[in-house]
Each structure stands twice: as C-alpha cells, then as structure tokens.
Structure 1
Amino acid sequence: MPIMADWVGLCVATSLLVTFLTAAGYALYSGLLSDITVLTGFPPIKKITFVYKFKKGPYESCGELFKESHGIGPKLSCIGVYYDDPKKVPGPQCRYAVGSILSEGESQADEELLKSYETSGFKVFSFPEVTHVVTASFPHRTFFSVLLGMRRVYPRLEHYIKARRLCAHPFLEIYREGLIQFMAPLARQGDFYVPEVRQAERRLVEREDSHSDSEGSGSDSNSEYSSGSGVLPLDSREASPASPVRSVAPRDEEDRGHRGRSSRGTSLGEPGCEQATGGQRAEREEDEKRPEAQEWLGAVVGEE
C-alpha cells in the first residue's frame, strides 16, 4: 500500500511538472520575454485603404470584430484603431474601429472582397502615409501573444512618449506576418479619425459652443477635449462609407495640445503635445505647401 501511495504521488508531481513546463514554454513562445523596442521614425504601413466597423464599448469586446473581419478576408492584415483612454473614459463610451487592410501604397483593393465586406456592414476608409510615428512591435504567435502585447508594450509606449513630451494619437494595432505592430502618428492625426468619431465630436463641439454663447461666459468650448478624452475637434475631413476622401487638416487644430491615449489602458498624452516635434513641423510645412492647404491658410488670413 505505501508503494502504491508513493507511485500515485510521483505521478501527480510529474504531471504538475509537465503542466508547468508546458505553460512556461507556451508563455515564452508567445512573447513573455521578447525584447520590446520603441522608436520614432517611419511607420510600419504606407497609405492604406481598409474596411472597418465602428463600435463603442470596452476594448475587451473588440475580439468579435477581429474574428468577423478575419473570417471574410483571412489573408488580409487586421487593424484596430483606438480613440479613448479607458482610464479617463468609461468602458461603455470608449470608441474603436476594427477591420482589415484592403490595400497599401499604390496597390489596388480586391473588388470581390470589398463587396463581401460591404455586404456584411463594413465601411471603407483610408489613412494617409506619414513620415513620423511612434512605433513598436510584438510577436503574434498565439492568442496569449495579444494579451502579453497589451500588458508589455503599452507601458513602454507610455514611458517613451511622456519622457519625450510627444503628441501621439490615436493608437493603431496592425496584425500581420506574425507581428503585432503598434503605431501612433505624430502629425496629421486628424486624418486617422474615422467619420463616426469626427461627426460625434462635431455635434458635441456645436452643443458646447451653443451653450457657451447662451451663457455669455466666453470660455473655450474645446477645453474639454484638450484635457479630457483627448479627441480632436472635427475640422479635417469627411468621407462617405464607400468612397474615402482625404483633405488636409488645419494644423493649428491638430497640434493644440490634445492628449494622446493608448488603446488598452495607458494614458500616453502630456501637456507637451502643444510642442511640435521635428516630424510634426516637417509634415506641417509639407502640407502647407500644397494648394489646398494654401487655400485654407489664405481663407484664415482673410478672415483675420
């Protein structure tokens, strides 16, 4: 009988050891100890056209949209864009867009796939190519990689952005080629806000303006956005669901000290946002040389 008890104990201990080693190996393979390097420079993507669905709610619920989008186009890279800081904005009010990248750079989108996505209720939009972003990457080998990436990468991004007093928002996650690529633009941020966010914020700004005018307080109706959720005033562009169009966003609105935020629970913006980085200044100068930007600037000067 004692021999049998010893044998059972040995089997249990061996089973626990094997389970522990398996779990440890799985965690290591998923990226538990992977190096994380945060950089400022060129983005991991060029100009993209993508399909998306916009939702409000806790970011933990975005997995269903990723699954739906991946199911339609399993060979396409998935993308998530997150607009609010969940430390400041209640979970049910957090806004995000999730979908798949149809084309990048000068490549053309697959028309059949586009129709399939539109039939399932996805909309189409485009993001421009910028030259200065904050970026990092993390292995995407298992489902656990996603959880590890959120826990490990965003604190690094937070430290990097705060230490350098950068203005970086919104936050994108691109899933492709075995990597999760994290990115936040340092310039032309307004062009990374999907129409649903911009329309809602425009209505909010208009209500604030109306309320301020009725009270005669003379307070700045945009103060909520520079210290609260960190959302840009809506002045950059609009686009129809199936016909993405981009225009130049007024630079003074984009760089007015709005706070950036992480998609998964870290506050990445600081008052230093009003200090344009070299990348922001370079892209601002480049944009102002364009005809549409000169026309806008001329209109502003004329109004003054």
Structure 2
Amino acid sequence: MDSTVLILIGIGALIVALFLTVFYMLVLSGLFESVDVKATKKHLLNKSRIIAYKTYKGSYGQVGDAFSWLCRTAPYNDTIGIYYDDPKTVPVDECRYIVGAIVETCVENRMSLEEVIQRLEEEEYQFFQMPGSTDPVEKEGELEKEGESGKGDATSDEGVGTPMVHCTFPFVNTLSIMIAVRRVYPALQKYISDNKLKTGAYPFIEYCHDSTLHFLVPCLDNQRFFVPEFCEENKQFAAEKYSDLVKH
C-alpha cells in the first residue's frame, strides 16, 4: 500500500480518536445529564453557615480566576459563588458577585479548621453569616403572593429552610461548569418565569459539595443573602475575623 495512503489513514484514525475522546469527555462532564429544577426547602443552606468571601464586580466569565485563588487558600472546603445581578439588564462591568468558602466544611484530616481560618484571614477574606432556617408559617403566606403554580412546589416539602429554586449538576472537571452554565441557568430562569417568581427569586447561588454543583435561587428573604458590601443592612452578620462573628 502506498505510504501516502497509510499516512492519510493514520491521520483519519487520529481525528476519529480525538473526536471520540472529546465526545467522551463531554458526556462524562454532563453533556446529557438531566436537568431537574424544582422548588424546595430541603437544600444545603437549611443550616446557617459562615462563609469566607471576597467581593467582585465585572463579567461573570472571570469568576474562574477567583475560584482558583480561593482553592489555593482553602483547598479542602466546599465553595460558594453568589451572583447578584442579571447580566441581561445590568452592564457587564457592573455585575456584582462574591466567591467564597464554607468555613466549617474543611476536611479536618487534611487541614485543621484553625489553619484554614488563619489562611483565609491572611488573604483578607471577609466572613459572613448566611441565613439559616425561617418560620415556615409566615414564609408560606408570603410565597403564595408570588404565583399560584410556584407556591405549591416551593412550600410542599417538610422543613423550615428558605424556599429555593434548586437544581444539581455533576462536577467532574472544568467542562462540567461550562456545560452547566449553558444548560442549568436557562432551565432555572424558565422555571422562575413559568412559576411567576421572576421578581422574587434572586440572587443565583452556586454551591459545590461532594463533586456536585448545587444551584440555588432564594424565593424569600432575598436581601439577606447579600453581603454588607452590597447591602449595608447586613453589616451585623459580617466580620473581618472569624472569631468575632462566632462570638456575635
């Protein structure tokens, strides 16, 4: 067989192998993962948690750098991102967000809680007490005003957590995040619109826990999820030192 033909066959085989490898990675990263959006009170933010965070303003597309820096500081903690503005209505350079770590989720056999707190404080991360449980009777009444189709789902689960629009997606690698952004956020926005929660569901929260991305959108107490840099009323829930917030 002519050497040129063999070379062309080899190149073709390499292209096919490359295509199959990329396709496999996309599938592994969640390309065909089902996106199940629901409103529930059963979620990871039922319990009040302290986060260490930094604030940012600009394109959400730059969030990766902030997470990379955070993971160098607190590599064994659950991470959280909160996005406060809709880039469709707010100029990209004015979009506000935070990137942080859930302090108490540090894996103790890899890094002690004291060490991770020290590292976070040295890197000038601020600390903020996230809201926990709420009064289910009072909140159910408020949620009913948002729309008939949304109220049943959001208040049907047992528990006293803030009602959230919720969805999970596997976190395998960076591709998972890219796929989730294109698949999960449109699904969340559609659910919010279909259930008439548009004015009462914000901000958008990403919580990474046990190789799973949890997407959460509060339906009530929305302003309570704003750090004091973006909502001065929440200064009482923030501190520069972790110990000051725990004492508070």
TM-score by length of 1: 0.64
Q: Structure 2: which 5+ residue stretches go unaligned?
A: 106-111, 134-160
Aligned to 2:113: 110
Q: Which residue of 2 aligns with 1:156?
A: 187
Q: Which whole-Å CA distance do the structure 2 matches of 1:122 and 1:237 have between them?
A: 15
Contact 2:226 2:234 in 1 (8 A): no
Superposed CA deviations along residues 189-247 of structure 1, whole A, max 9, x for unmatched, are 12100000014xxxxxxxxxxxxxxxxxxxxxxxxxxxxxxxxxxx45543333449x9
Structure 2 match to 1:299: none
Matches within 5 A, 1:1-304: 3-41=2-40, 42-45=42-45, 46-103=47-104, 110-130=113-133, 131=161, 132-166=163-197, 167-199=200-232, 235=233, 238=236, 239-242=238-241, 243-244=244-245
Q: CA deviation at 1:13?
A: 0.8
Greater displacement, 123-132 / 143-152: 123-132
Deviation larger for 181-190 or 24-33 = 181-190
Q: Give the residue type in structure 2 aligned to 1:115.
A: Q
Q: Distance in 2 between matches of 1:100 and 1:240?
A: 15
Q: Deviation digits for residues 4-59 of structure 1, max 9, x if unmatched? A: 12111111110110000000000000000001100111222321111000011111
User: Matches of 2:14 and 2:64 in 1, distance apart?
Assistant: 33
Contact kept in structure 2, 1:51 and 1:123, CA below 8 Å: yes
Deviation at 1:103?
Answer: 2.1
Residue 81 of structure 1 aligns to a residue whose secondary structure is: strand
Q: Secondary structure at the match of 2:104?
A: strand
Q: Deviations over 1:143-175 (max 9, x none)?
A: 110000000000100111111111211111011
Give RMSD over aligned pairs.
Answer: 1.9
The 3-state SS of whatever aligns with 1:191 is helix
Q: Larger relative CO (CA 8 A, sep 6+): 1 or 2?
A: 2
Aligned partners of 1:37, 1:78: CA distance in 2, in Å? 22
Q: 1:244 to 1:134 in 2, by over 3 A?
A: farther
**Which residue identity lines up with residue 43 of structure 2 in the other structure?**
P
Q: CA–CA distance in 1 between the matches of 2:177 and 2:91?
A: 22
Partner Cα distance (1:43, 1:171) in 2: 14
Identity across the alignment (%): 30
Give TM-score scaled by structure 2 length.
0.78
Structure 2 counterpart of 1:101, one-letter code: I
Say which SS state the counterpart of residue 103 (structure 1) adopts: helix
| SS of residue matched to 2:87 | coil
- Count of matched residue pairs: 206
Distance in 1 (alpha carbons) for counterparts of 2:234 and 2:23: 48
Three-state SS of the structure 1 residue aligned to 2:81 is: strand
Distance 1:103 1:193 in 2: 20
